[in-house]
Structure 1
Amino acid sequence: MPRSLASTLIVSASVAALSTSLARADEFTLRMGSGHPIGLLAYTETAHEWFAPELKKRVEERTDHTINIQEFHAGQVAKVTEVLEATQDGVLDVGFMSLIFEPSKAFLQTFTLYLPFGSPDAVETTKAAKATFAEFPEMAEAFESQYNQVYLGGACAENYGLGTNFGWENFSDLEGHKIAGAGTNLEWIVGATPVASNLNEAYQSIQSGVYEGYISASAWWHTFKLNEVAPFFKSVDFGVQYVSAVTINKQTYDALPPEIQEILVEMGEEWGMVTAEVCDRNNREGLDKLRELGVEVSEVSGAAQKEWAGALADFPQRMAEELNSRGLPGSKVLNFYMDALAEGGHEWPLRYQVK
């Protein structure tokens, strides 16, 4: 992301504020931000409602310092595709990011996307994903060694389902229909014809017949008013995805007192579970809201889910091979995560074979 004059001024202001803080050694200012609006997704809701106020509270209760937090969400400083780089450059001190929008830089860290039909339970997904990050510390370390920031923790995005303008029961019913998705989840669309799109385009695209459905979380379906043009939503249970992260610029982190660093690491560890509870709540409330709005909400049958997973049987192996070819532990990560979810009680409709 080339820096504009405005961005350069922002960086200069941030550095100056931090320098002033260091001189007084008792007051610090951190610029936090994300590319999404507050509350549209679970990770921005918890960034604003839990992380920012809780950080201020803990610092001021447990240290002699005070901390000021400036929040910049909804692309005020960085778009969803720019948060990682903005944190790398110091435009943001603390970045809350959806790694879905960093398919190259976070190719390994978005491993849950390569295993559709994981757990629909955000708490269990978070436990298994955190265990995977702990088993393979290079995933977190890459943020520092490659992108000048310290990885504080990860979090979920809500369980994915499928909204459509037609009803369906069997996997074969999708044949001949056009279904949209974004990024890696386009690979989940088999049987139907996949169409690349985004939620901002979905209303008009479904209304005009460009496509007939979209892979989405239930809460997003009514947030974007897609129920008005596609009044069917099926809980397909593609699974909760562990694709959100919070990081802090390395220079900012190093300039903070050890006691504040400790609190940041502590909160990064806790943030995943705080967000998991919001993800599960959003899924429940999203389905209830759709029912209130007259949407036909249903659950995928075990047979249809198993058939869909079978049609995707080669996908995890293909992704593992791509990761392996880049010198990354793709096969090991995917197998560890599948086992971790199973140990937590998840029953895979198909236990993918990854070598």
Structure 2
Amino acid sequence: MNKMMSVKVSGAIALALVMPVLISGCSESSAQDVQTINLRVGASHPTTLPWVGSIPNNFIPEVDRRVAELETPYQINWQEAYGGQLYRANASLTSVSQGIVDMGWVFSTMEASRQPLTQVSVYAPAVTDDPAVMMEVFNELNRSVPALKAEWESNNLVFLGASASDPFQLFTVTPVEEVGDLDGKRISAAGVLSSWLRGTGAIGVQGALPDFYTQVQTGITNGALVLPSGGFSIKINEVAPHLTKVNLGSMYFGGLAANKDSFERLPEEIQEILLDVGALYSQSIAEDVMAIYEQGMMNMESDPKVTVNAWSVDQRMAWVHNMPNLAKEWVEDNEARGLPAGEVLRAYMNAMRERGIEPLRDWDKEIN
């Protein structure tokens, strides 16, 4: 059995940059030596978020269980660092690709320049409210659509499993009974999500989730377009007590990935386990995300200080069809750069339809 040498470098991050996956023999007196594999796993966000918490709570235990059943006696020594201990959200992709960790959660929404085609669900909203379906689709597409697969491999990554959100909703200071009520309102939104307000007359105000409470409280904005699971966590309902269920859909925003060099050094049977358990990682996220969402909605319904208004399908369609064709703009911008965005959009929409999903808008049928 070959042993890989590690170089001692002071400092945790310097060590992480140079230390490869280590496979070593243990207990020479045993009938068959146990081969120990050191794997570093991390995330820029805390384990309180389902897509991170699922790594130590579900992914690692299931990998360990399957490894223990192999004929060859392997043991994985996990070295875990979550909550930004090693890197921040804007470095989640590069930290895995450069080998600071051997695997970790990649926040693709922050990586539009490196993963432009991966942003497709952001520019085609209101397709499905079910994160389980969203993750199932992208677990398939990231392996079957060459252009999406390439966005992981070109960054020295092996995609393991997708992560997605609960459906976006609207929290406001005053009631929003129809899309016309948004005219002139200032709404907090993160990044490109402010484009979902185009056509409504509302003005998107940029900010991150932690900023939204103060933005609304101080009158900078009149509400926030937000994931309820995130909105509940910052108690946005205290300052924006009107929750309008506009159901603008779940969003795919990245997933668990392995450093390609580290992955290829692993025994083939370990590689297969990591790929297989990646799909289970997504399933566990869906369960946790919707449990948080449903419990939070129950709390909002029972809170006398909060008014919950669920829009009809017609009201939701009025919002979505008042938008310019965001997907068409996205396709044209990316195809001008030589990227097959139209192919990716069609693959995404068709994969949804094959699962019985009826999008509020057929984004792909409006492109050439």
Larger radius of gyration: 2
Q: Does 1:264 align with 2:274?
A: yes
The amino acid of 2:322's aligned partner reads A
Q: Does 1:192 align with 2:205?
A: no
In structure 2, the partner of 1:98 is 107
Superposed counterparts of 1:70-149, under 5 Å: 70-144=79-153, 146-149=154-157
Aligned with residue 49 of structure 1, among 49, 57, 60: 57
Contact 1:100 1:183 in 2 (8 A): no
**Larger fraction in helix:** 1
The separation in 1 between residues aligned to 2:222 and 2:179, in whole angstroms, is 15
In structure 1, the partner of 2:170 is 162
Shift, 1:159, TM fit: 1.4
Shift, 1:143, TM fit: 1.8
In structure 1, the partner of 2:367 is 354
The separation in 2 between residues aligned to 1:134 and 1:91, in whole angstroms, is 25
The separation in 2 between residues aligned to 1:249 and 1:347, in whole angstroms, is 36
Contact 2:186 2:223 in 1 (8 A): yes
Contact 1:32 1:93 in 2 (8 A): yes
The separation in 1 between residues aligned to 2:158 and 2:229, in whole angstroms, is 31
Contact 2:229 2:289 in 1 (8 A): no
In the superposition, the TM-score normalised over structure 2's length comes to 0.88
In structure 1, the partner of 2:14 is 8
Superposed counterparts of 1:1-355, under 5 Å: 7-12=13-18, 14-15=19-20, 18-19=21-22, 21-22=23-24, 26-40=35-49, 42-62=50-70, 63-144=72-153, 146-190=154-198, 191-294=201-304, 295-352=306-363, 353-355=366-368
In the superposition, the TM-score normalised over structure 1's length comes to 0.91
Shift, 1:6, TM fit: 5.0
Change (3 A) 1:231 1:72: same
> Relative to structure 2, which stretch is displaced further, 299-308 or 176-185?
299-308
Residue aligned with 1:82, SS: helix
Contact 2:188 2:215 in 1 (8 A): no
The separation in 2 between residues aligned to 1:310 and 1:36, in whole angstroms, is 34
Shift, 1:237, TM fit: 1.2
Alignment RMSD: 2.0
The amino acid of 1:107's aligned partner reads P
Change (3 A) 1:313 1:128: farther
The separation in 1 between residues aligned to 2:255 and 2:146, in whole angstroms, is 15
Q: Percent of counterpart pairs with the same letter?
A: 28
Contact 1:177 1:193 in 2 (8 A): yes
- What does the per-residue CA deviation read over 1:263-306, in whole Å, with 9 as the maximum and x for residues that have no partner? 11111233222322223323212211222444222212222211
The separation in 2 between residues aligned to 1:320 and 1:209, in whole angstroms, is 36
Gapped regions of structure 2 (runs ≥ 5): 1-9, 27-33
Contact 2:102 2:262 in 1 (8 A): yes
Contact 1:335 1:354 in 2 (8 A): no
